[in-house]
């Protein structure tokens, strides 16, 4: 029997990402978040529009997505209820947040220089993705159940750093899902993942089939051209009525 209910949140379990960005004075900020998903080398981040991270992403257009494993759970928990914003927005005041300028020290984490972006990587995180902002759009702007202004921030991954022991022995370009133990946030609590539970049909073919840009020579060129032609009609933009308004439009509608 199912019951129809009205939960306050619907966070059914997603990986915890520590986003590092640079503040205007050159210091670094860290924000734990878990509304993130990837398609190809692009990632969509769901972020509070009032957060220091959103402010930094607007200005610098770059960040590092540091994926936390279960080993970083204490550091992640120490970052909860902190913001790099000097002025606390009302909802964060009510939730008991406080301003913290040095989140690396507060969490006991170590900053490492990145190779492409100016924001640092977090040494302790086994997977680090340097990324650049592709777009910032309003999210759920007309949703009466959304209490705070949110942004859907699309970032393009530029380069990926992975702890060596997580790479497959026979293919260092692949992350071994049997060894990678992401930290999962489910309904505000922390979990790890267990052992694999079933063989996966999706995982039967080569992972490289998802990366036509890696195919070299004539075969690669022909494969990419065939995909472009086959998918041409799906690449057309959605009709204007289905497109989200720009961030500027959304800010305008909140002010009015």
Ligand X SMILES: Cc1cc2nc3c(=O)[nH]c(=O)nc-3n(C[C@H](O)[C@H](O)[C@H](O)COP(=O)(O)O)c2cc1C
Element (H, E) at 88: none
Write down the least CB distance from residue 165 to ligand X, Å.
25
Of 25-33, 109-117, 208-216, 232-240, the segment contacting ligand X by CB under 6 A is: 25-33
- Output the CA–CA distances (angstroms, integers) from residue 152 to 26, 92, 255, in the order listed: 25, 20, 19
Using CB under 6 A as the binding rule, whether residue 66 contacts ligand X is answered as: no
Which residues, 173 to 192, sit near ligand X by CB under 6 A? 185
| Number of chain residues interacting with ligand X (CB under 6 A) | 20
Using CB under 6 A as the binding rule, whether residue 18 contacts ligand X is answered as: no
Write down the least CB distance from residue 246 to ligand X, Å.
20
Using CB under 6 A as the binding rule, whether residue 52 contacts ligand X is answered as: yes
Backbone phi and psi for residue 73, each to the nearest 5 degrees, phi listed first: -60, -40
Give the residue with the Cβ less far from ligand X, 43 or 47.
47
**Number of Cβ within a 10 Å radius of residue 137:** 18
State which of residues 23, 83, 114, 128 lies at the interface with ligand X (CB under 6 A): 83
Q: Token pair for residue 51?
A: 């957060």
Name the site residues for ligand X (rule: CB under 6 A).
16, 29, 31-35, 46-48, 51-53, 76, 80, 83-85, 97, 185
């Amino acid at each position: 029997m199912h019951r129809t209910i009205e939960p306050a949140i619907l966070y059914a379990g997603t990986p915890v990402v520590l986003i590092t960005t640079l503040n205007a004075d050159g210091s670094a900020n860290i924000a734990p978040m878990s509304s993130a998903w990837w398609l190809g080398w692009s990632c969509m981040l769901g972020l509070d529009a009032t957060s220091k991270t959103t402010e930094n992403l607007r200005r610098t257009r770059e960040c590092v997505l540091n994926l936390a494993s279960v080993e970083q759970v204490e550091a992640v928990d120490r970052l909860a209820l902190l913001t790099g914003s000097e002025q606390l927005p009302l909802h964060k005041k009510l939730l008991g947040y406080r301003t913290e300028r040095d989140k690396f020290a507060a969490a006991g984490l170590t900053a490492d220089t990145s190779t492409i972006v100016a924001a640092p990587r977090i040494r302790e995180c086994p997977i680090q993705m340097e990324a650049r902002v592709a777009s910032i759009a309003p999210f759920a702007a007309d949703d009466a159940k959304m209490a705070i202004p949110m942004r859907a921030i699309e970032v393009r991954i530029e380069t990926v750093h992975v702890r060596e022991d997580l790479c497959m022995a026979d293919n260092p370009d692949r992350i071994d899902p049997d060894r990678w133990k992401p930290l999962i946030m489910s309904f505000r609590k922390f979990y790890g993942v267990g052992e694999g539970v079933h063989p996966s049909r999706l995982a039967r073919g080569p992972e490289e089939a998802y990366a036509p840009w890696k195919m070299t020579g004539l075969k690669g060129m022909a494969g990419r051209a065939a995909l472009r032609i086959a998918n041409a009609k799906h690449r057309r933009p959605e009709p204007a009525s289905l497109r989200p308004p720009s961030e500027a439009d959304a800010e305008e509608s909140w002010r009015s």
